[in-house]
Amino acid sequence: MGDFFTHRLALVETDQIGDKTNVWAYAHVMKGAVVGSHCNIGDHAFIESGAVVGDEVTIKNGVAVWQYVTVKNRVFLGPNCSLTNDNRPRSKREWSPVGTTIEEGATVGANATIVCGCHIGRYAFIGAGAVVTRPVPDYAVVLGNPGRVRGYVCECCQPLAGRGALLTCKKCGLRYSKTAKGVVKLDADAALLATPLATPLATPKPGAKRAAKAGAKRAAKAGAKRAAKAGATRAAKAGSQARTAKAGAKKTTQR
């Protein structure tokens, strides 16, 4: 048994609690439950025999962690969120337990419900009141009833943004890659390789040069033709005006 704090109104029956963990008033930790170090277990929380809680986990008030539920390190379980371990519950009958794992760093918001067997991925974020009916990928943000993936979140809990496969946290700068299997965090080298580079100016191919030159010649030739035609039109118009003026002068002299 570690060096942990137990409120005088808490009931702790297990001998498997790590150092620096706090168990507050009216919480009940049953014999056979495993709780790591530096955890915080709020008022009226309940941890059943066989449940496993990792290190640095926060379990807020009114949360029950049942047998066959595994909570990994640095998970946050919000007030009154619900975990289950039986898909077809009936009173006083044989039952088939279904395990659930909440992976490292995940957050489950207040009053959210996790249907058993729906594993929660690393650093996923389950919004308040969501009902999770299917497994949740790493870094996914799940909202609504039934819960749907609405985006992705960084390890620092800020939204990820970006275009295409590259996602970036605007607060801490961590970069992620969106793949067919989900979102993965890039290490420094991979992030550098994933950074879009400036597109170099394309070197025209010989064929393209010839085509451009031929196009320029055709354009120049067409322009010359238009200019010649316009000049001829102006000349014809000027000649017509001169003939008209000459004819008018002749008639005036004859009179």
Coil, strand or helix: which one is 206? helix
pLDDT for 210 beyond 50: yes
Cβ of 69: how many Cβ atoms within 10 Å?
24
Question: Which ranges in the chain belong to alpha helices (H)?
Answer: 188-194, 206-254
Domain count, the chain: 3
The pLDDT tens digits of the residues spanning 117-130 come to: 999 999 999 999 99
Buried residues in 36-52 as b, exposed as e (16+ CB within 10 A): bbbbbbbbbbbbbebbb
- Same domain? For 179 and 212 the reply is no
Could you give the CA distance from residue 242 to residue 173 in angstroms, rounded to a whole number? 80
| Strand order from edge to edge, sheet including 166-169 | 160-161, 166-169, 175-179, 182-185
Place of tokens 């597109």: 199
- pLDDT > 90 fraction of the chain, expressed in percent and rounded: 68
Are 111 and 126 contacting, i.e. CB atoms less than 8 angstroms apart?
no
Buried residues in 1-25 as b, exposed as e (16+ CB within 10 A): eeebebeeebebebeebbebbebbe
- Same domain? For 150 and 172 the reply is no
- Same domain? For 97 and 217 the reply is no
- Average pLDDT for 65-88: 97
- Average pLDDT for 69-88: 97
pLDDT for 223 beyond 90: no
* pLDDT value for 135: 96
- Same domain? For 142 and 68 the reply is yes
pLDDT for 194 beyond 60: no
- Same domain? For 100 and 149 the reply is yes
* pLDDT value for 187: 79
- Same domain? For 57 and 140 the reply is yes
Per the structure, the complete domain to which residue 222 belongs is given by 204-255
Could you give the CA distance from residue 128 to residue 138 in angstroms, rounded to a whole number? 18
- Same domain? For 41 and 138 the reply is yes
Coil, strand or helix: which one is 129? coil
Q: What is the CATH number for 78?
A: 2.160.10.10
Coil, strand or helix: which one is 30? coil
- Same domain? For 42 and 19 the reply is yes
- Same domain? For 33 and 146 the reply is yes
- Same domain? For 48 and 95 the reply is yes
- Same domain? For 137 and 227 the reply is no
- Same domain? For 37 and 150 the reply is yes
Confidence tier at 197 by pLDDT (50, 70, 90): very low
Could you give the CA distance from residue 115 to residue 111 in angstroms, rounded to a whole number? 13
Token readout for 53 is 């809680």
